[in-house]
Structure 1
């Protein structure tokens, strides 16, 4: 995630746009290739977060609090996301990844409810509506991100199907299927708890990258 955002913010919104870089063909090409590598590496992270979301859903003691945390951090992260990735204080065109994860979680909650009510048609409708909502709100990874969460949830008790379905669903991202290698080897045991670190890391690292791009890069370039 951090590596991906370094490419998206510092390179694509910073280094690759300044005249000093664009007027030097060799330097521009080198930085553009570096950005591509960063983005390819960074794209491995999202499927892992989706898998962890499903695992969290299955094992949390309070799903409503889980959803509330995602919602609150979606709000907290929106301005840092817009500043770092979109280049402005607020941009309604693209919403941060917490909204994608929240929609996926709410879809799982509703599907689980309708499963208990033996209403398979309602479950399918929930999954479709969740993807439409992500698409309409322009959340990060959009309907494809929600689809991945839904597939990992549907095949939650079959690791082979889970890995294959996830890898195929995200094969449009060149390196994303690599994320399912550690998923395959996951032993189901909970590791050291650091959930608040990961929640806060997202908005904080975006603000830091925005600060680097906005304040530090101009100084370094002018030297």
Structure 2
């Protein structure tokens, strides 16, 4: 894939660039779900966002100088975001919300770090299974499917047939078991973006954390305003 990129002079991306792309795709997803639920392209593009965030979280775990501070930021902003997220989730799905993506990412980072503490492949497997169960019990966004994605992004190897087998296979399995829409398959295309990574971090910024609840809050206010305006006599 890298040879193809070089052949066609496709620009390489820093981790910061990928973060901007992931965040933009997530906003598109949220706009679509809130305002254009019948337009599939919004959700299709949105499916690319989480694997990118999963990869970024795995990169964060790998390169952070202080894992405790990294997890603290994720969890604190997750707590701040949750009331807004719950309102948006209810408007979209008419059901009690899960814990938002920041909790999912935090749990994934903990999973990755715990697997690095043991050498045995069996123990690594059991640790991942254990955290998959925890993801279900805590009802984090995406639950065990997202947990698997984050872990797979920590061992990503685009040249490995085994890795691709797991990455594509588990998505097909969850689509079948949960009777998810076919659009979930488009998440696989996110790997093409990751393949453009140039190995550099790029600009350093923590704007993702406050911008996550901020964009949800703005979309929620617009949705409520539109709903109120439509109900006026």
Residues in 2 aligned to 1:47 and 1:95: alpha-carbon distance in whole angstroms: 18
Contact 1:44 / 1:178 at 8 angstroms: preserved in 2? yes
Residue 106 (structure 2) aligns with: 102
| Mapping 1:3-42, distance limit 5 Å | 3-12=28-37, 32=38, 34=39, 36-42=40-46
Residues in 2 aligned to 1:49 and 1:93: alpha-carbon distance in whole angstroms: 20
| Mapping 1:27-106, distance limit 5 Å | 32=38, 34=39, 36-87=40-91, 93-106=97-110
Residues in 2 aligned to 1:125 and 1:218: alpha-carbon distance in whole angstroms: 50
- Alpha-carbon distance, 1:109 to partner: 1.2
- Alpha-carbon distance, 1:216 to partner: 3.3
Residues in 2 aligned to 1:187 and 1:102: alpha-carbon distance in whole angstroms: 25
Secondary structure in 2 matching 1:206: helix
Contact 2:89 / 2:96 at 8 angstroms: preserved in 1? no
1:131-167 deviations in Å (ceiling 9; x for gaps): 11111222111100001111122x24x3323972434
Residues in 1 aligned to 2:27 and 2:126: alpha-carbon distance in whole angstroms: 35
Residues in 2 aligned to 1:141 and 1:160: alpha-carbon distance in whole angstroms: 27
- Alpha-carbon distance, 1:176 to partner: 0.8
TM-score w.r.t. length of structure 2: 0.75
Quote the RMSD (CA, aligned, Å): 2.4
- Alpha-carbon distance, 1:72 to partner: 0.8
Residue 186 (structure 2) aligns with: 175
Looking at both structures, which has the greater relative contact order when contacts are Cα pairs under 8 Å and sequence separation is at least 6?
2
Residue 125 (structure 2) aligns with: 124
Contact 2:89 / 2:97 at 8 angstroms: preserved in 1? no
Residues in 2 aligned to 1:209 and 1:140: alpha-carbon distance in whole angstroms: 19
Moved over 6 A (4+): none
Residues in 2 aligned to 1:41 and 1:146: alpha-carbon distance in whole angstroms: 21
Describe the shift of the 1:111–1:104 C-alpha distance in structure 2 as closer, same or farther (beyond 3 A).
same
Residues in 1 aligned to 2:35 and 2:135: alpha-carbon distance in whole angstroms: 27
Describe the shift of the 1:43–1:95 C-alpha distance in structure 2 as closer, same or farther (beyond 3 A).
same
- Alpha-carbon distance, 1:201 to partner: 1.5
Residues in 2 aligned to 1:95 and 1:65: alpha-carbon distance in whole angstroms: 20
TM-score w.r.t. length of structure 1: 0.78
Structure 1 gap segments, 5+ residues each = 13-31
Residues in 2 aligned to 1:212 and 1:163: alpha-carbon distance in whole angstroms: 42
